[in-house]
Amino acid sequence: MERRDFLKIVGAASLTPATAAERSDAADTSPSATVLYDDRAIALDRIGVDPAGETGPLWVRKRDLPRVNGFELKPQGACRADLCIPVPKTMTRGDFFNLTAFAKKAAQPVVAEPSAKVWSFGEMQALGGGLSNSRIAPDFEVLDRLGRPVHLAGFRGKKALVITWASW
Amino acid sequence: MKNQSLEIIAAAQDVGGETAAGKWYDAAKATFTQLVDVKHTVSSVFQFINVPMGVWIDEQGRIVRPAEPAWAATRTDVYGGKPLAIEGEAYVAALRDWVANGDKSEYVLSDEEFARRVKPRSANEMEAEASFKLAVWFQQAGDTDRATKYFERAQALNPDDWNYHRQEWSFTGEAGKKWLEKFKGYDKEYYPKLELKKKGG
């Protein structure tokens, strides 16, 4: 092939509109919603539309529920460990589950900024894991100065003094 | 405090992270476990409301003493004409006693005393936690307007949590002024008085 012909072919290829696959690679990859739960930030790539058109409710995919709050949907309701909370029909819609309505039923606070697509969930005392139920210290994970995760459970077998301080 | 029988885990609870906290760890030449707790996770787990606060945890993971001020020094300072006492000597002495004597230490709280000191969070306190978490999220994302909105909401829901106030004030450039104003008008103990009761007491 002569160089001129080769350059014509390369030039033509660069002007070809991107295929659908190529376009989707460049598509916006920000999550549809972010849930702040315990000390995690969970990105959800798809959430449902509220049937009443309200922005406050958060409809998550049923299959995302376990990784958000540890609950699974079963015939008797939403269950986690020994706790099952009955789920009325209005709390589900096709593949989606109304997580904010569930939180309200479980007396769990939610503070949300839907315009920024972020929902922050507070403690669910119905789970019974708080300090007033058990003297066993809950495990936690916090990063050290080098960004390495440190777990309280890693100190079992030793006496530990855990203290907080601040530069302010 | 050097003692091979005690692990000291210090959590610098600062949304500013290593940038804010690192130099203080360096200055202290810290040899203990140094955490950078940008989301205030430790305070959330143990229901701390100010700094410095601490808990003692035994070899089985049991909380021996729940949230209380964890100073090492003893002194009384005066701010705006109002005294602020810190009680470190007695605390450190108690800590040493526990390290030496374990469960036999008179500073290990009974289950009854533990239950008296630890209360479930109220609805407002739980909502304040959720709001603070959201504020930290926005602060880390650089959205300071929304961060302020949710810091202030947390403060309103739980005015006794000094951490919520002091962390947010640290971003304003008026931390000292705001702290003094709240401190002077505060009608409760800034640091709860230490109750170093004997076991079963």
pLDDT per position as a tens digit, B159-191: 999 999 999 999 998 999 999 999 999 999 999
> How far apart are the C-alpha atoms of A45 and A29, rounded to whole Å?
8
| A125, B9 contact by CB (below 8 A) | no
List Cα–Cα distances, B82 to A40, B76, B159, B186, B190, in angstroms: 40, 10, 19, 10, 11
Is residue B154 within a helix (H) or strand (E), and if so which, with residue range?
Answer: helix B144-157
Does A161 sit within 8 Å of B61, measured CB to CB? no
ipTM of the complex: 0.94
Position B1 pLDDT exceeds 60: no
Which tokens is B145 given?
């307007």
> How far apart are the C-alpha atoms of B173 and A36, rounded to whole Å?
28
Say if strands A159-165 and B6-12 run parallel, antiparallel, or are unpaired: parallel
Chain A CB contacts of B113 under 8 Å are: none
Confidence (pLDDT) at A12 = 41
Backbone angles phi, psi at B191, to 5 degrees: -110, 125
Share of residues in chain B with pLDDT > 70 (%) = 96
Confidence (pLDDT) at B4 = 55
pLDDT tens digit string along B101-148?
A: 999 999 999 999 999 999 999 999 999 999 999 999 999 999 999 999
A8 in reach of chain B (CB within 8 A): no
DSSP string, B8-49: EEEEE--TTHHHHHHHHHHHTT--SEEEE-TT-HHHHHHT--
Position B198 pLDDT exceeds 70: no
Give the number of other CB atoms < 10 A from CB of residue A121: 26
Rounded to a whole number of angstroms, the CA Rg of chain A reads 24
Is residue B145 within a helix (H) or strand (E), and if so which, with residue range?
Answer: helix B144-157
> How far apart are the C-alpha atoms of B47 and B38, rounded to whole Å?
16
Confidence (pLDDT) at A130 = 85
Does A120 sit within 8 Å of B131, measured CB to CB? yes
Confidence (pLDDT) at A23 = 44
Confidence (pLDDT) at B28 = 85
Which tokens is A142 given?
């916090």
State the average pLDDT over residues B57-63. Answer: 97
| Preferred mutation among A40, A42, A168 to probe B, highest tally of B CBs within 10 A | A168
> How far apart are the C-alpha atoms of B114 and B125, rounded to whole Å?
20
Confirm whether B27 is domain-assigned. Answer: no
Q: How confident is the model at residue A6 (pLDDT cuts 50, 70, 90)?
A: very low
Nearest residue to A115 via CA among A37, A39, A33, A38: A33
Confidence (pLDDT) at B148 = 97
A141 in reach of chain B (CB within 8 A): yes
Share of residues in chain B with pLDDT > 90 (%) = 86
Confirm whether B142 is domain-assigned. Answer: yes
Position A164 pLDDT exceeds 70: yes
Q: B172 in helix, strand or coil? A: coil
Confirm whether B44 is domain-assigned. Answer: no
Q: Does residue A59 or residue A22 have the better pLDDT?
A: A59
| B81, B37 contact by CB (below 8 A) | no
> How far apart are the C-alpha atoms of B185 and A20, rounded to whole Å?
64
| A43, A31 contact by CB (below 8 A) | yes
State the average pLDDT over residues B55-78. Answer: 96
Confirm whether B177 is domain-assigned. Answer: yes
pTM above 0.90, yes or no: no
pLDDT tens digit string along A62-92?
A: 999 999 999 999 999 999 998 999 999 999 9
Domain extent at residue B140: 123-185
List Cα–Cα distances, A51 to A34, A45, A58, A94, in angstroms: 20, 19, 11, 12
Out of B35, B46, B130, whose CB is closest to A143? B35
Q: At which residue do the structure tokens 């050290």 appear? A: A144
How many CA atoms, within 13 angstroms, populate the side-chain half-sphere of residue A41? 13
Give the number of other CB atoms < 10 A from CB of residue A102: 24
- Average model confidence (pLDDT) for chain B? 93
Nearest residue to B147 via CA among B135, B158, B164: B135
Confirm whether B22 is domain-assigned. Answer: no
pLDDT tens digit string along A130-150?
A: 898 899 999 999 999 999 999
pLDDT tens digit string along A96-130?
A: 999 999 999 999 999 999 999 999 999 999 988 78
Chain A CB contacts of B47 under 8 Å are: 131
Q: How confident is the model at residue B30 (pLDDT cuts 50, 70, 90)?
A: confident
Out of A136, A142, A145, whose CB is closest to B25? A145
User: Total domain count for chain B?
Assistant: 1
Confidence (pLDDT) at B160 = 97
Position B56 pLDDT exceeds 50: yes
Position A5 pLDDT exceeds 60: no
